[in-house]
Amino acid sequence: MTKRFALSLFAVGALFTSCSSDDDNGTSGPQVEEPATYQFERNGTTTVSYDGQTTRIEMAEEFVSSLTDTSKSEAELDGMFTNTGNYFSTSDLNESTKNIRSKTAASTDYYSANTTDATAIKAQFDTWIESQVTEVFPNWNTDAVSGTAGKIQEAGGGSTRYVNAKGVEYNQVVAKGLIGGLMADQILNNYLSPAVLDAGNNVEDNDNDVLDGSSNYTSMEHKWDEAFGYLYGTDDVLAPQLGADSFLNKYLSRVEGDEDFAGIAQDIYDAFKLGRAAIVAKNYTVRDQQADIIKEKLSIVIGVRAVHYLQAGKSGLGSDYASSFHDLSEGLGFVYSLQFTRQPGTDIPYLSKTEVDAFVSELLEGNGFWDVTTDTLDDISEDIADRFSFTVAETAS
C-alpha cells in the first residue's frame, strides 16, 4: 500500500463514522448534522465553489517550477507572479483575472490595516525572484563555495542544487514561503475570519438563504469554500488523498505521515465539513469553533515542518553540503511562513514578523548556511517548538 493511498483512507473512514448529533453540538443554536464528506447541494446542485483557489495553486505550481529554468528572464518570472504578459503554458491561466502576488500577505485580519508589512512581504518575494535571476542563473555552471553562488551536488551522485552565495535555494524559499504567505494566510486570516464570513449582509443573507447573485451559494458559504479550496483545490473533496499539490496539501500529508501527528488530516477535514454544515444550519458558534480547530492544526503543520527541516539540515553540515542546504532552504521558507500562522481565539500568529525576521537574519548571518552551527539550528528549533504543542524530537519523521 502506498503512502498516498493509505492517506486517502481517512476520508473513506469518515463515511462510516460521521453521524448526526442528538444535541446542539454543545452550543446554543440550531442542531448541526455532521456530514460524511464535503458535499453540499441546494435543489440538487452543488453549492461548493473554489475555482479561483484552484487557479492560483496551478499558477503557483508553474511559477515555482520556472524558478529553476535558466531560460526565464526576471520579467517573465515577475509576469507569472503577477499574471501579466501571458507567460503561463495555458490560455486558461493567462486569461484568468487571478494572480499570486495580489493575494500574498493580503488577509483581512493581518494586513488590511497593516499595509507596511504587506508591502514589505510582497517586496521580499520580488527580491527573491530577482536574486534567482541575477545571482544564481549566471552561476548555473559554477561550483558553489562559501561566498560564491553556483551548483553543488549531493553526496553519492545525488541531486544538484543551485544556491546563492550563502547556500540558499531561492526556489525552495519562495515555494515554502507561499505556503504561509498565500495559502495559510488566506485560509486562516481571511476566509475563516468572522470579519470576512460576516461582512456586510452575509449573516442576514445566509439566515434567509439569499444567494450571491446568480450563484447557487450564499456569500458566507462561498467564503468558507474558498478557504477549503486553498487546501484541497486540486484534490478530491469527497475523498482527499493528500499530496495533490506542492504546497499546503503536500505538507499536511507529510505531517500526517509522522506517527506523532497521525490524525491531524482527519481533524482538519472534519472541521472543514462540520463548519460548512454549520453555515447551512445557521449555527455560527459551531462554525467558529471549527475555524479555530483549522487555525490551530494548519499552523502546527507549518511549525512542524519548519523544525523538521532545520533539524534535517544539521546532518550534512561539513560533509554533504548540498543535502544540508536543500533542507535548510526548505526550513528557511517554513520559518518565514510562521508569521502567517494563527493562534486560535486570538488575532496573532504563533510567531510575529519581528521574531521571524530575527530568525532569518540569524540563519543567514555571515556566509549563511556555510557558517551556520548546529547550536543555532537547535536553539531556533526549540524556540519554535516551545510556541506549539510539540517537541523538537517529535518532528523528526
**pLDDT tens per residue, range 323-348:** 999 999 999 999 999 999 999 999 99
Q: Cα–Cα distance between 98 and 55 in angstroms, integer?
A: 7
Helices (H) and strands (E) in the chain, counts: 17, 4
In 3D, which of 64, 81, 105 has the Cα closest to residue 339?
105
Work out the number of other CB atoms within 10 angstroms of the CB of residue 289: 18
Instruction: Identify the three-state secondary structure at position 340.
Output: helix
Q: Cα–Cα distance between 118 and 200 in angstroms, integer?
A: 24
Provide the pLDDT for residue 27: 63
Instruction: At 370, list the grid cell.
Output: 556555510
Q: Cα–Cα distance between 303 and 390 in angstroms, integer?
A: 9
Instruction: At 91, list the grid cell.
Output: 490560455
Provide the pLDDT for residue 29: 82
pLDDT in tens, 186-212: 999 999 999 999 999 999 999 999 999
Angle value at C-alpha 183, between 357 and 108, nearest 5 degrees: 80
CB 271 within 8 A of CB 192: no
pLDDT in tens, 210-236: 999 999 999 999 999 999 999 999 998
CB 219 within 8 A of CB 202: yes
In 3D, which of 311, 312, 301, 295 has the Cα closest to residue 260?
301
Say if residue 17's pLDDT is above 90: no
In 3D, which of 261, 267, 290, 273 has the Cα closest to residue 237?
273
Provide the pLDDT for residue 87: 98
Q: Cα–Cα distance between 331 and 151 in angstroms, integer?
A: 19
- φ, ψ of residue 153 to 5 degrees: the values are -100, 140
Say if residue 247's pLDDT is above 90: yes
Provide the pLDDT for residue 24: 54
CB 6 within 8 A of CB 23: no
CB 217 within 8 A of CB 50: no
Say if residue 20's pLDDT is above 90: no
Provide the pLDDT for residue 21: 40
Instruction: At 257, list the grid cell.
Output: 505521515
Q: Cα–Cα distance between 394 and 392 in angstroms, integer?
A: 5
